[in-house]
Amino acid sequence: MAEELKDVVLEYVKNEYLEEDDDEEIGYDTPLISGGIVDSFSMVSLKVFLEKKCNIEIPNAKATPEAFDTVNKIVELAKEIGGE
């Protein structure tokens, strides 16, 4: 389940944040926010996507740039809140 969620989140990040002519390779541990791929303003889309996908509500205090910096960290956060 966690493997599938990782792939779903990775796919979402690529579609949502990469331009068509971007040749950037993104992996599960690629720094998204500290790496400048996702800025803190457009990070909100990712939070909303995760909430809908996992049927959870992420408190604003936990939706930090650090918690959302990689696909692996995002999935960890979702598991923590979803109670898996």
Partner 1 sequence: MAYSTKAQEFYTAELSSTREAGLYKDERFIHSAQGADIEVEFPEGAAVQQVINLCANNYLGLSSHPDVIKAAHEGLEARGYGMSSVRFICGTQDIHRELEQKLTAFLGTEDTILFPSCMDANAGVFEALLGEEDVIIADRLVHASIVDGIRLCKAQQDSFKHSDMTHLEQKLELHQDKRFRMITTDGVFSMDGDLAKLDEIVALAERYDALVMVDDSHATGFIGKRGKGVHEHCGVLGKIDVITTTLGKALGGASGGCVSGRKEIVEMCRQRARPYLFSNAMPPVIVAAANAVLDLISRTTERRDKLEWNATYWRRGLTELGFDLKAGESPIVPVMLYNAKLAQEMARDLYQEGIYVVGFFFPVVPKGQARIRTQLSAAHEKEHLDRGLAAFEKVGKKHGVLGLGKKEIIEKFGK
Nearer to partner 1 (CB atom), residue 2 or residue 48: 48
Is the distance from CB of 74 to CB of 46 less than 8 angstroms? yes
Residues of span 3-42 touching partner 1 by CB under 8 A: 17, 19, 36, 39, 41-42
The torsion defined by the Cα of 77, 48, 46 and 19, in degrees rounded to 10, comes to: 160
Stretch that binds partner 1, among 43-51, 57-65, 67-75, 76-84 (CB under 8 A): 43-51
Q: Is 45 in the site for partner 1 (CB under 8 A)?
A: yes
Q: Is 44 in the site for partner 1 (CB under 8 A)?
A: yes
| CA pair distance 44, 38, nearest whole angstrom | 10
